[in-house]
Structure 1
Amino acid sequence: MSDADPATAGDHENAEQVVVAVDADDQRQDVVNRLEAHTGDGIRHRAFTALLFDGEGNVLLAQRSPEKRLWPTHWDGTVASHPVPDQSQVDATEERLAEELGVTPDQYENLRVTDRFEYRRFFEDRGLEHEVCAVLQATLTDRSLDPDPAEVGGIAWVPYERLVEHREWYRQFRLCPWFEIAMRRDRE
């Protein structure tokens, strides 16, 4: 998700990045600046969140770096980001898994899109997410990780069923809104 500060947009890496603007059905409309998509009234765009599970029903959560502009230190599914134009959700997820956690495709099986939903959430006065978010899931067969501290503040393996059914037991995890929606929809 977005990390740029409008006041310093020229100095931030996201000021030069683009995202894919989409309609509510995830049909491509245009390519837009990533910072503009996350500020002002926002622009609906394509995003993804990925959940990696181990063989015992635990989900790998990643804490967003404190340097992130939106939702710093909040806990997310395993990775979340935006595909670039002409990049599939699976390819974008594979790329982010490698960049953020050092996880390569030989460490997981059956990476697939399991859901898609639209949401819009503001974060304080810093910006917003207005996205059509694909949810991808896979089973991690090798739990070796190499988190990038610029992206990841911490990691935790959490029993997924207990997290979904007893959110109150995990109040120490301030969850990103897209991850909470993905979990709720996974149970519907």
Structure 2
Amino acid sequence: MIADEQVVLVDPDGRAVGTADKQTVHGADTPRHLGFSCYGFDAAGRVLVTQRSRLKRTFPLVWSNTCCGHPAPGESPDDAVRRRLPYELGVPPVDVHLVLPDFTYRASSGGIEENELCPVLVCRIEDVPLARPDEVETWQWWSWGHLLEEAASPDSVLSPWARLQVPLLAASGQVELAVGSALR
């Protein structure tokens, strides 16, 4: 974890209203703050799915999207993806596209709540991931169809936010536009 990492607090309309230390913001009653989720696809149309590190305070060992995190104060979600993907997985994102700018959710596990305005982005990944063990336990390439099925399953292994985001991404029609014809 990055020392003194700040998250952007937001009001109900998504306007920045301040910052807070990431170490202190996640708890039983987490204030609404800005996050992001990114789904990275390879040339074959597979999506990189990660299992969150066992060392994570929030949702440890839960399978989820490629990368998620928090934009720094003044940082766009696109730039946050460009910063975090190399940090967490050792891969630079290519052709980052914002798909769901207004996604928001709340989810709780183990007494820790997430409460985020969480724009969702997609990108391409052209390199082999090398995961940081404090961020990612392991990773797998899944077909888009498998991810859709897993998100819809009552026994899904996916994070609560991924289960909500995946069908919205599919319905948007923008994933195919962003990552090309490989999903067809």
TM-score range, shorter chain: 0.7 to 0.9
For residue 181 of structure 1, what is the aligned residue in structure 2?
Answer: 164
Match of 1:8 in 2: none
SS at match of 2:117: strand
Among 53, 76, 86, the residue aligned to 1:88: 76
> Equivalent of 1:26, from 14, 25, 30?
14
Normalising by structure 2, we get a TM-score of 0.83
Give the distance between the partners of 1:43 and 1:167, measured in 2 at CA. Answer: 26
User: Structure 2: which 5+ residue stretches go unaligned?
Assistant: 172-184
Which residue in 2 is equivalent to 1:56? 44
Matched residue type, 1:131: E
Q: Letter of the 1:123 partner, please give it.
A: S
2:105 is aligned with 1:119: yes
State the SS of the aligned residue for 1:95. helix
Secondary structure of the 2:118 match is strand
CA RMSD of aligned residues (A): 2.1
Change (3 A) 1:118 1:65: same
Deviation at 1:176, TM superposition (A): 1.3
Cα gap change, 1:21/1:168 in structure 2, threshold over 3 Å: closer, same or farther?
closer
Alignment of 1:1-188 (within 5 A): 16-105=4-93, 108=94, 110-115=95-100, 116-125=102-111, 127-140=112-125, 142-165=126-149, 167=151, 174-188=157-171
Tell me if structure 2 keeps the 8 A contact 1:44–1:130.
yes
AA paired with 1:117?
A: F
Which SS does the other structure have where 2:12 is aligned?
coil
TM-superposition CA deviations, 1:38-93 (whole Å, max 9, x none): 11321000000110011222100111111111111111111100011011111111
Asked if structure 2 preserves the Cα contact closer than 8 Å seen for 1:22 and 1:45, the reply is: yes
Q: Which residue does the alignment assign to 1:7? A: none
Give, in whole Å, the separation in 2 of the partners of 1:170 and 1:157: 22
Misfit runs of 4+, over 4 Å: 166-171
Determine the C-alpha separation between the residues in 1 that align with 2:23 and 2:50: 23
**Contact 1:60–1:157 (8 Å) recurs in 2:** yes
Q: Which amino acid aligns with 2:63?
A: W
- In structure 2, C-alpha distance between the alignment counterparts of 1:117 and 1:75, rounded to whole Å: 19
Counterpart-to-counterpart distance in 2, 1:37 and 1:59: 30
Tell me how far 1:17 sits from its aligned partner.
2.7
Tell which deviates more after alignment, 143-152 or 94-103: 143-152
Give 1:181 deviation, angstroms.
Answer: 1.3
Report if the CA contact (8 A) 1:18-1:84 is conserved: yes
Match of 1:10 in 2: none
Amino acid corresponding to residue 113 of structure 2 in structure 1: L
**SS of equivalent to 1:100:** helix
CA distance in structure 1 between the aligned counterparts of 2:34 and 2:122, rounded to whole angstroms: 17
Q: How many residues align?
A: 170
